């Protein structure tokens, strides 16, 4: 059977970084496949994952596969089984995913395929620096911490001891039985702590908690700058006379006038624009930015960010292509200054 490990955790908790840190520690020849679910339509983290020693990366975009895209995960798992027959499948959920629905789908596959799959563990990653903030406003974040085989405490080194104690108090109130392990920065944790747990969660339908529809908890917008030929598919779907709305609420058609594929963003301008993004209403900004020196992945979460240079062959004409995620009804106006400073648009 193929063991399946599900990573959940709120936006920007650091799931991708932890998963990628596990891979070099696996035995030589160990074949792992990543199935990743993300908001937006840009395969950002997959670009990083493909540079790792994963056997394959499959990404499900534009929604959450525990609700809006329910059912797609089953098909993806079957495809992975048939094409790769890996030693392990790692599922990385979107930031707002509740793992119960995914766990039940995997349990059903166990039965339907005569044991070809096995739910090994549900692992929840906690952003210790911001958990007490988003846990207050997000039922999903509380659910993620409550229904888990293992809780990984990430970014705890940024906190003073008293603040970390408060986070642990919150976690123990939600879930006092599940082990809690501190991550070792970007080095993550030992795979032996995560793989081989043999989860007992969600074995019966009676275990399923009542969950309200959480899809509207997070709003996403796509921010773009570049040639019209490089526009995201969502913009092209409006037809040949599509128009894009800038964050100043005016409508203006993008043309090739004044835009060149070789254009790039000054990193100092990007840094200045990011400093003005309010982390109270915008929780995550991620995507591609063409800086001097080439295309980079921007990964911003709650005020902290990093840039990683990446080789991409299919982004000609793109200068900025980002997905911003945050509080519903607030993201567009909260990103207005950012877009104005970088002369980008919401599409």
**Hey, what domains does the chain have and what are their CATH numbers?**
2-193 (3.40.50.300), 218-228+260-346 (3.30.1220)
Q: What is the pTM of this model?
A: 0.79
Residues 199-217 have pLDDT tens digits of 988 877 555 554 555 556 7
Residue 246: pLDDT over 50: no
Task: State the average pLDDT for the chain.
Answer: 82
Residue carrying structure tokens 């960010």 = 305
Distances (CA, A) of 347 to 71, 121, 154, 258, 278: 28, 38, 33, 19, 21
Give the burial string for 243-253 (b: 16+ CB within 10 Å, else e): ebebbeeeeee
Whole-angstrom Cα distance, residue 59 to residue 41?
10
Report the chain's terminal Cα–Cα distance, integer Å.
44
User: Where is average pLDDT lowest: 25-29, 108-112, 136-140, 180-184?
Assistant: 136-140
- Sign for the pseudo-dihedral over CA of 160, 166, 168, 171: negative
The pLDDT, as a whole number, for residue 64 is: 56
Which pLDDT does position 237 carry in this prediction?
A: 37
Tokens 């001891």 — which residue? 161
Contact between residue 74 and residue 105 where contact means Cβ atoms under 8 Å apart = yes
Q: What angle do CA 71, 77, 78 make, to 5 degrees?
A: 95
Token pair recorded at residue 253: 């058609």
Confidence band, pLDDT 50/70/90 cuts, at residue 252: very low
pLDDT band at 245 (very low <50, low <70, confident <90, very high): very low
């Amino acid at each position: 059977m193929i063991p399946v490990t599900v990573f959940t955790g709120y936006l920007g908790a650091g799931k991708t970084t932890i998963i990628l840190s596990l891979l070099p520690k696996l035995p030589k020849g160990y074949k792992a496949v990543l199935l990743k679910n993300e908001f937006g339509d840009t395969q950002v983290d997959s670009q990083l994952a493909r540079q790792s020693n994963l056997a394959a990366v499959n990404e499900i975009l534009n929604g959450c596969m525990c609700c809006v895209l329910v059912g797609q995960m089953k098909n993806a798992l079957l495809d992975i089984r048939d094409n790769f027959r890996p030693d392990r499948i790692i599922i990385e959920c979107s930031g707002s995913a509740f793992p119960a629905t995914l766990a039940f789908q995997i349990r059903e596959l166990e039965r339907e395929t005569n044991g070809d799959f096995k739910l090994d563990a549900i692992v929840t990653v906690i952003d210790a620096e911001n958990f007490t903030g988003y846990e207050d406003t997000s039922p999903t974040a509380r659910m993620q911490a409550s229904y888990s085989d293992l809780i990984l405490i990430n970014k705890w080194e940024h906190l003073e001891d008293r603040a970390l104690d408060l986070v642990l108090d919150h976690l123990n109130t939600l879930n006092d039985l599940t082990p809690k392990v501190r991550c070792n920065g970007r080095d993550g944790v030992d795979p032996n702590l995560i793989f081989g747990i043999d989860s007992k969660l969600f074995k019966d339908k009676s275990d399923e908690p009542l969950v309200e529809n959480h899809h509207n908890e997070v709003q996403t917008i796509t921010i773009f700058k570049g040639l019209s030929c490089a526009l995201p598919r969502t913009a092209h779907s409006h037809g040949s006379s599509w128009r894009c709305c800038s964050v100043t609420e005016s409508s203006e058609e993008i043309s090739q006038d004044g835009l060149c594929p070789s254009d790039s963003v000054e990193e100092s301008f990007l840094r200045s624009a990011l400093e003005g993004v309010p982390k109270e209403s915008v929780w995550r900004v991620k995507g591609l930015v063409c800086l001097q020196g080439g295309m980079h992945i921007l990964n911003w979460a709650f005020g902290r960010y990093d840039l990683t240079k990446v080789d991409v062959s299919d982004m000609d004409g793109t200068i900025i292509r980002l997905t911003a995620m945050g509080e519903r009804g607030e993201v567009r106006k909260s990103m207005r200054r950012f877009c104005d400073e970088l002369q980008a648009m919401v599409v």
